[in-house]
Amino acid sequence: MRRQQLVVIGNGMGSVRFLETLVAGGEHGYDITVLGDEPDPGYNRIMLSPLLAAEIPFSDTVLRSRRWYDENGITLHTGADFRIVSINRLQRLVVTTAGQPFPYDHLVLATGSHSYIPGIPGASFQGVVSFRRYGDVEAMLSAAESGKNGNRAVVIGGGLLGLEAANALNCRGMQVTLVHSQSVLLNRQLDAYAGQLLQSELESRGIAFLKPKRTTSIEGVDGRVTGVGFSDGSCIVADLVVFAIGIRPNVQLAVESGLACKHGVLVDDLMFTSDPAISAIGECVEHGDETFGLVEPVYSQAVTLARRLPGEIQPFVSRPSATKLKVSGVQLFSSGQFQGEGCDDVITLKHPDAGIYRRLVIRDNRVVGVLLYGDTSDGAWYQELLESGQDISAYRNTLLFGSQFAAVA
């Protein structure tokens, strides 16, 4: 009996977790082929920041070796020649850049996302990079080393990736300025007080900040970056410019093949697309008007699909995901609706000398938002309360002091 052909496009973190779960379940009935356009096997993108900071080698980021794929009967193709350029849904095959066709019975799209670089003047200059892939890390280091005027880096974007890139380049000995369009760093995860604590800590390490500031141009000479211009007419010198202002789902293949898409590839609770022979997981998908940039929901999607293909039904449910900053020496935890709404109760604890701050948002005696800075030891406990919707009225008065002080029955 012919085995079904399962083809996976993409070999990132979601793809690897999908494969791990599928093969761990025993006989699944598929011949599996994985096609990735990066040269290396799947790696942990979360670890790119410590890699850039020279805290770990690349080998520590690799999720599974080529030997693992071989041992589990998975055919892995990597590199630019295996980038997929078209999907023929009628014939059920995908075609690579080199023109090689791969037929499928079921296709998994795990194409991920790409960094957004705005179409401003000079954005294509040498020395302007994003921060998303291992190749971006190499480009940053190469651009920094080839700078003619010194080692001055400008990071545009005060979100997670921007802060991690700024810290990593600072650790590499560069003079780093971070530019953010908002007044508060990590404005989607922090309030003004926590944002200032974080900024003060990073300033003490030598990172400079310009905010709020809107970038309007990249200045250059002979095609190479020399500075960054702003809407107020000012400009700063730069040998390297790193854009970290958000990601966009990679949906071009899906759109061109006629799959239903909005911001991402539309999927149902079992991660199936509008074509029953094609499913999708990870940062390329849109589920319930939501797209995804954190690893927890991506892993959950991967498990849902890996169990669905052999017949087990475990619908994907989007849950609040905690944000953690990967900067050595900085403890930060943010989850849920930390800003609160009109009728919510907001309770805070501040210990300025120790750099500790806690903010909890309570609605109908249930935790709906958590923000911790300086001490995140109770993060997992607060997250459990948030996800479970547990009534906390019995220990509300001690809730802010953590699990050890709460009189939990």
Number of domains in the chain: 3
Q: Are residues 106 and 212 in the same domain?
A: no
pLDDT (0 to 100) of residue 93: 97
Residue 176 corresponds to which tokens in the numbers above?
Answer: 């780093």
- Minimal CA–CA distance to 45: which of 21, 65, 70, 16? 16
Q: Are residues 155 and 239 in the same domain?
A: yes
Please identify, among 186, 219, 243, the residue that sits at the C-terminal boundary of a domain.
243
pLDDT (0 to 100) of residue 340: 81
Domain of residue 377, CATH code: 3.30.390
Q: Are residues 93 and 110 in the same domain?
A: yes
Question: Is 320 inside any structural domain?
Answer: no
Q: Are residues 265 and 237 in the same domain?
A: no
Please identify, among 216, 243, 270, the residue that sits at the C-terminal boundary of a domain.
243
Question: Is 100 inside any structural domain?
Answer: yes
Other CB atoms within 10 A of residue 116 CB: 14
Q: Are residues 148 and 178 in the same domain?
A: yes
Question: Is 407 inside any structural domain?
Answer: no
Q: Are residues 287 and 239 in the same domain?
A: no
The CB-side HSE value for 150 (13 A sphere, CA atoms) comes to 11
pLDDT (0 to 100) of residue 295: 93
Q: Are residues 271 and 352 in the same domain?
A: no
Place of tokens 């199936």: 272
Q: Are residues 109 and 255 in the same domain?
A: yes
pLDDT mean across residues, the chain: 93
> How far is residue 55's CA from residue 357's CA, in Å, rounded to a whole number?
28
Question: Is 317 inside any structural domain?
Answer: no
Q: Read off the pTM.
A: 0.89
Domain of residue 209, CATH code: 3.50.50.60
> What is the 3-class SS of the chain, one letter each residue?
CCCEEEEEECCCHHHHHHHHHHHHCCCCCEEEEEEECCCCCCECHHHHHHHHCCCCCHHHHECCCHHHHHHCCEEEEECHHHCEEEEECCCCEEEECCCCEEECCEEEECCCEEECCCCCCCCCCECEEECCCHHHHHHHHHHHHCCCCCCEEEEECCCHHHHHHHHHHHHCCCEEEEECCCCCCCCCCCCHHHHHHHHHHHHHCCCEEECCCCEEEEEEECCEEEEEEECCCCEEECCEEEECCCEEECCHHHHHCCCCECCCEECCCCCECCCCCEEECHHHEEECCECCCCHHHHHHHHHHHHHHCCCCCCCCCCCCCCECCCCCCCCEEEEECCCCCCCCEEEEEEEHHHCEEEEEEEECCEEEEEEEECCCCCHHHHHHHHHHCCCCHHHHHHHHHCCCCCCCC
> How far is residue 337's CA from residue 382's CA, in Å, rounded to a whole number?
13
| Identity of the amino acid at 368 | V
> How far is residue 24's CA from residue 69's CA, in Å, rounded to a whole number?
13
Residue 152 corresponds to which tokens in the numbers above?
Answer: 């001055």
Give residue-wise pLDDT tens across range 260-305. 999 999 999 999 999 999 999 999 999 999 999 989 999 999 999 9
Residue ranges of the chain whose pLDDT lies below 70? 1, 143-150, 407-409
Q: Are residues 161 and 84 in the same domain?
A: no
Question: Is 336 inside any structural domain?
Answer: yes
> How far is residue 84's CA from residue 256's CA, in Å, rounded to a whole number?
12
Q: Are 390 and 366 in contact (CB under 8 A)?
A: yes
pLDDT (0 to 100) of residue 1: 64
Q: Are residues 110 and 255 in the same domain?
A: yes
| Identity of the amino acid at 34 | V
Residue 381, Cβ density class (10 Å: 0-12 exposed, 13-18 middle, ≥19 buried):
middle
Q: Are residues 233 and 253 in the same domain?
A: no
- Minimal CA–CA distance to 74: which of 136, 159, 3, 127? 3
Question: Is 406 inside any structural domain?
Answer: no
Q: Are residues 208 and 258 in the same domain?
A: no
Bridge partners (DSSP) listed for residue 335:
370
Please identify, among 308, 323, 357, the residue that sits at the C-terminal boundary of a domain.
308
Angle between the N-to-C axes of helices 160-171 and 192-204, in degrees from 0 to 180, rounded to the nearest 10: 10
Please tell me whether the peptide bond between 212 and the residue prior to it is cis, using omega within 30 degrees of 0.
yes
Contacts 24+ apart (CB under 8 A), 64-70: 64/16, 64/19, 64/20, 65/41, 66/41, 69/34, 69/41
Q: Range of 67's domain? A: 4-114+247-308
